[in-house]
Chain A
Amino acid sequence: AQSVSQHNHHVILSEAASLELGCNYSYGGTVNLFWYVQYPGQHLQLLLKYFSGDPLVKGIKGFEAEFIKSKFSFNLRKPSVQWSDTAEYFCAVNDYKLSFGAGTTVTVRA
């Protein structure tokens, strides 16, 4: 089974700052990679996904992630965050089931 590590537990930054959240997964063959986001008081929702092809994938709300196979990583980025990006972010890997990391809480200060 896959395991997923998210590097940061809590990130605090100001509006317009750049964001990068790290995610590493254990080797397990072909994987499908996801980032989910949970805004305060809302359900988990899909931010972006990678199955194959271009390792740089773009998601909703200006987020993107890069799959680096040699590093078993799938880091999430956003060039300029907004206050509304305050949320909890989960990296997830799917082989036969979706395995989540512990999550990173992102707080954006206005």
Chain B
Amino acid sequence: ETGVTQSPTHLIKTRGQQVTLRCSSQSGHNTVSWYQQALGQGPQFIFQYYREEENGRGNFPPRFSGLQFPNYSSELNVNALELDDSALYLCASSIGRGANSPLHFGNGTRLTVT
């Protein structure tokens, strides 16, 4: 069983640039959630995708956007990067969008904005 994989593992960008992070969900999972984890904090929910449609969004501005593809992989796009966007970005997949579906996390992408 292949787990959740994220790419790249590390990324350095300049303020104002745009970034795309990628996630392959675990086999059999049709739901992908994205989280931002700042240093010393717990993961914060960005949004969730279920069957290629956004299914819930946290308190993040519109410059955070996403996609889910027919194979259930997903992308997180962030435009106009700000210094505070520096964080670990976590992708998690699950079966279904129910509240009782445990999430399976990837190792994350460490984004540094300078």
Contact = CB atoms under 8 A, between A and B. Distances in A.
A102 B45 CA distance: 13
A100 B40 CA distance: 12
B102 A34 contact: yes
Residue from A6, A31, A43, A92 with most neighbouring chain B CB atoms (10 Å): A43
B107 interface: yes
B68 to A, nearest CB: 16
The interface size bin for chain B is 20 to 34
A43 B43 contact: no
Interface string A27-70: 00001101010000011111001010000000000000000000
Interface string B93-114: 0000001101111111000000
A98 interface: yes
B56 interface: yes
Interface string B41-70: 111110010000000101000000000000
B33 interface: yes
B90 interface: yes
B42 A101 contact: yes
Contacts of B104: 46
Interface of A: 4, 6, 31-32, 34, 36, 42-46, 49, 51, 90, 92, 94-103
Interface of B: 3-4, 33, 35, 40-45, 48, 56, 58, 90, 92, 99-100, 102-108
